[in-house]
Structure 1
C-alpha cells in the first residue's frame, strides 16, 4: 500500500499505479516508469512481471502481480494468457483511493473500490483493430481463431469497464483521442507521453555494430510484430545498399533474421547505455507502423537525428515535416526507399530537432500527470 510522503497531508489520497503487464521494453513501460517518478510512493499493480524482459528500473518499485504471474509460460508470452486475462483482471484488487492506470486493454478493468484515471495508449487493438494487430495473412493463426471465439465476450467486458462513470480517461495522442471517442463515446483530454532516454547518460558500445560507420547507418527501434512493417524497411534499405540496425524483440524476430542480408544487423535486449550509443551513431530513424503515439522519433530527436516515418497515427504528433523528419504515405518498400533518399539529400538542423524533443520532456509529463491526478482526487 502506498504511504503518504512527508510533503503530503496525512489525509492525502492513497495513489496506486496499474499497468497491463510488465513483460517487455516499450514506450508504455517507459511511461509507467515516468508515472512512478511522479508518484514514487505508489505501488505498481500488474498481471505479469518479468524483471529480465522489462526495464531494470522497475526493481526500485514495489510491484504486486496477479496469480497468473506464477506461471512462467505466461510471463514469457502474455498472449497465451488471453482467455484468462479478463476474469483475472476483474478480480485483481487494487487497494487505493486513486489508481493511475496505464492501459491498452486490461488494467482499466482491475478491481478495487478506488476511482481510476485511465491513461489510455489505445482501446484494445486485438478487439477494434484486429487485422492491424495481427497483420495480413494471419486470420487462420491460433491467435486469430481464439480472438474470433472470445471477441464478443471481451468487447462486452471492455465496454463495461470503459463506461464506468467513476473513471476519467486521458489520451496519449490525437489519434488515440479520436479512437477513444469513436470506440467508447468518451472525450479524453490529451497528455503526450515523454521521451525518457537521457542523452546525458552513460553510453556503452555494441560490438555487433562496431564495424559500421557512425552517422551512416539507419535505425529501427520497435517490437518485432507484424504491424510494425520492419520487413518492408529491410527490403527498402537492402535495395538501397544502406546499413540498417534493428533493435527489438518479438514474434517476427526469426522471420526478419532469415531475410536480413549483410547490411542488416538485428539486436535485442540492449541496456539503456547501449541504446544511447546506437541512437547517437545513427543517421536517421525509420518507422513504418501505424502507431498510437510514436515515441521513438522523439528519442531520436533528442540526439538531433531526423525520422523517416509513415504519415499516420501518432507520428503526426511527434514529427514536424521537413524540420524533424519526412513522411511516406504507405508502408511499401519503394515509398520507404524514396523517403530515405530524400532524407539523405537534405541538410538537417540538429538544434531544431533537439528543441522539438524538449517539448516532450519527462519533466513536462510528470508535472501534467501529477496535476491531472491531484485535480481528479479533489473532484467529488
Structure 2
C-alpha cells in the first residue's frame, strides 16, 4: 500500500495589490515559497504595485472591473467586506496575507493567517487618519460603518485555523483584539545588496551620502516630522514613497529634501547603498526597512516602539528616539554621526531575517502541519 500522502494544494490570499509596500513584498516571497499558488485579492493595479505580480495567476473580485477602485482602494471601503466574503479560494491550504480583508475571504480549506496587524483603520482610526475621525468625511464614513465592520472582522478572524503575527507587538494586538494566540514569524527582507543597481538621476549630485526615509505617505508615518528634523539638522534627506500626504508634503519641501517614487528594485538598491542613515519615525507593525538598510551596512535611527524593537539592536544596528519630534530625531542623528558602526554586524543582522529562513518556516506550517488536515 502506498503510504505517501498527497501534497496539499496551496493558495495565497492578500487584501489588495494596489501599492508597493512591505506587505506586498511578503506576498512576493510567498510566491517564491509556493510557485504554483494562485494569488487571490480584491483589487489588482499592475501599475501601482510591483511588476513581479504579472508573473502570477492573480484572481480578483468583481470590484477590479472599476478602474477608480483599482487606483484608490480606500474608495471601495463600503464594498470590501461583502466582496471579501464572496471571494472563494479553492485550495487545501490558504496562506492569508492580511491587515484587514483577506482573512474574510470564503476559504473552505485550512487557512493560515499571516497578520500584519488587526485593521489599523478600524481599531486605531485616529492614528491612521492623522486626526479625530469626526474631522473628515472619510473618518465620519468610517465611524458610521465601524460597528458592522467590527462584527464582520471578528467573525472572520475566528474562522481561521491558525494565526501568525509579524512581530511581538502584533501578537499582543491579536490577543487583545481577537482573543487569539499567534506565533511570531518575522517577515523576510528581500534586499540583495550584491544584485545590480541603477543610479537615480535625481540623486547623482547627492551620491556621497544623505538621510533616507522609505515609507507610504500617510499621516501616522510622521514623514513631515522627519522633514522638519532634516531642516533643523541641516542634512540632506531623500524620501521614497507614495500616498495621500504627498501633495501636502511637497508643498512645503525645503531645498535639502527630495521626494521620489516609482523606483525600480535596482534603483532602490542604489538608494540604500548611497545612504548614510535610514530614518524611521513611525510606529510600525514590523521594522522591515531597517533590515533592508542593514543589508547595505546602513544603520537606522528609529522611533522606539512597535516592530522596530524586533529588528533593531540598539547601539549595534541602530539608535532609538522616544518621541516623533524634530528635535528628538535630530539629537539621535547627531549621536549616530559620532558612532563607528560595524558594517559586518549590520549585514549579519539583515541575514537573520533573510528570505530562505522565512520560506522554510512558512512551508513547514503550510505543508508539513497541513498534511491530513
Which residue does the alignment assign to 2:107?
Answer: 112
Which residue does the alignment assign to 1:4?
Answer: none
- Between the aligned partners of 2:134 and 2:345, the Cα distance in structure 1 is 44
TM-score, length basis structure 1: 0.95
Q: Label 1:379 to 1:317 Cα distance change in 2 as closer, same or farther (>3 A).
A: farther
- Between the aligned partners of 1:372 and 1:139, the Cα distance in structure 2 is 43
Where in structure 2 are the equivalents of 1:1-380 lying within 5 Å?
11-136=6-131, 139-164=134-159, 166-214=160-208, 216-378=209-371, 380=373
Name the SS of the counterpart of 1:101 in structure 2.
strand
User: Cα distance, 1:84 vs. partner?
Assistant: 0.2
User: Cα distance, 1:201 vs. partner?
Assistant: 1.6
Structure 2: unaligned runs, 5 residues or longer:
none
For these two proteins, the number of residue pairs brought into alignment is 370
User: Cα distance, 1:139 vs. partner?
Assistant: 3.5
- Between the aligned partners of 2:323 and 2:12, the Cα distance in structure 1 is 37
| Deviation string, structure 1 residues 199-223 (Cα, Å, up to 9, x no partner) | 1221111111111142x31000000
| Deviation string, structure 1 residues 23-49 (Cα, Å, up to 9, x no partner) | 000000000000110000000000000
Structure 1: unaligned runs, 5 residues or longer:
1-8
- Between the aligned partners of 1:365 and 1:139, the Cα distance in structure 2 is 41
- Between the aligned partners of 2:315 and 2:268, the Cα distance in structure 1 is 26
Instruction: Give the stretch that moved more between structures: 367-376 or 188-197.
Output: 367-376
- Between the aligned partners of 1:376 and 1:122, the Cα distance in structure 2 is 24
Name the SS of the counterpart of 1:364 in structure 2.
helix
Instruction: Give the stretch that moved more between structures: 166-175 or 270-279.
Output: 166-175
- Between the aligned partners of 2:288 and 2:347, the Cα distance in structure 1 is 14
Q: CA RMSD in A?
A: 1.1
Name the SS of the counterpart of 2:143 in structure 1.
helix
| Deviation string, structure 1 residues 89-140 (Cα, Å, up to 9, x no partner) | 0011111111110000000000131121000000000111111111135642
Are the aligned partners of 2:7 and 2:371 in contact in 1 as well (CA < 8 Å)?
A: no
User: Cα distance, 1:285 vs. partner?
Assistant: 0.2
Are the aligned partners of 2:296 and 2:347 in contact in 1 as well (CA < 8 Å)?
A: yes
- Between the aligned partners of 1:369 and 1:33, the Cα distance in structure 2 is 13
TM-score, length basis structure 2: 0.97
